[in-house]
A and B are shown apart, each in its own frame.
Chain A
Amino acid sequence: MANPLSQFEIKPIIPFQIEGVDLSFTQSSAWMGAAVILCTLLLTLGMRHKSMVPGRLQNVAEMFYEFIANMVRDNLGHEGRKYFPFVFSIFMIVLFGNLLGMIPYSFTYTSHIIVTGALAMLVFITATLVGLAKHGLHFFSLFLPKGLPIALAPLIVAIEVISYLSRPISLSVRLFANMVAGHTMLKVFAGFSVSMGLVFGILPMVMNVALIGLEIMIAFIQAYVFAILTCIYLKDAIELH
């Protein structure tokens, strides 16, 4: 367990293979399932009483709801309301992935690029399809800025297309890199604590306490960034400038 990267290893809980394709139920799948169940429980149990003066759970549920509702309203305007469930689901699954990863001995599924990449591709494909459905082929005028001299068009269009295609990469790498870096750092400092002995080991431990606070903040910030970039990408697709 001394290797700081061993925490990211995928371990199957129920091994299962079809035609040589590994479809095991892993600890990653288990934590994803836990995240879905926990946020469903939080929202349904929290809103069970629907009281005027909210209790603790209801307060948390309403806070998440209002946070995303405001974000969607600010970015997408009134007609953006139909995208609220999409943005909210993305936000909750990323946030719960990040936060559940902060529990000792748990597994952070957002620290795997295949997970964040799949989420980012979902956002990217949804935004592109929304744009195509709304504007038809006119959607591709997104890559051609207004008032551009025609001689420059091939160059600029190529650059804009690359810039557009790099979105899902930067979206997924940002979340994945933050999570891996943070958790590796925590593990490294925890390792220092063990190797420096009982007296001097206190120092890295104090550092680790501060880092855990920072990590929890990063968990929230990264979920927020993921959600707001989803909003921005949808906005670009909905209202061609």
Chain B
Amino acid sequence: MGLTPEELKKQIQSARDKDTQRSSAKGRSAVDGRSANMAFRATIELVSAIGVSGFIGYWIDQWLDSTPWAMIVMLFLGFIAGFLNIYRAAMGQDFKIGFKEEKDQEVKNETDKA
């Protein structure tokens, strides 16, 4: 293997170029895969938020003997929380609790594009 460092560098570069070409050709199926993953994630987010809040509501009802009011209220809140989680996941904020400041968001979008 009598390669000079420059030749090796050139070889690595051409291999990398080929790789980027291939991955851009596969871009479409990658996007499809990501959308499917996103859909699956959204389902689980919604179900788990409603499940948790329903459980808490049931527990409060048992405790305060207020059946079914706490559960109804908590289920509504859980529904909202679930949608909030989906929104955050879709906006690339990745399940972060609390709202991010605008500027952070822009920086994140920039890095996502790059």
A interface residues (Cβ-Cβ under 8 A, vs B):
142-146, 155, 158-160, 162-167, 169-170, 173-174, 177-178, 221, 229, 232, 236, 241
Contacts and interface: CB of A to CB of B under 8 A. Distances in A.
A142 B99 CA distance: 10
Interface of B: 37, 40-41, 44-45, 47-49, 51-53, 56, 74, 77-78, 80-82, 84-85, 94-101, 104
B97 A143 contact: yes
B96 A159 contact: no
- The prevalent SS among residues of B at the interface is helix
Contacts, number: 75
A221 B36 CA distance: 13
Nearest to A172: B48
Contact of B82 (A143, A166, A236, A241): A166
B95 A162 contact: no
A193 to B, nearest CB: 25
Given A143-B98, A173-B47, 18 more contacts: A142-B97, A142-B98, A144-B98, A159-B77, A159-B80, A159-B81, A160-B81, A160-B98, A162-B78, A163-B84, A163-B97, A166-B53, A167-B95, A170-B45, A170-B85, A236-B97, A241-B96, A241-B104
Given A166-B82, A166-B85, A173 B77 contact: no
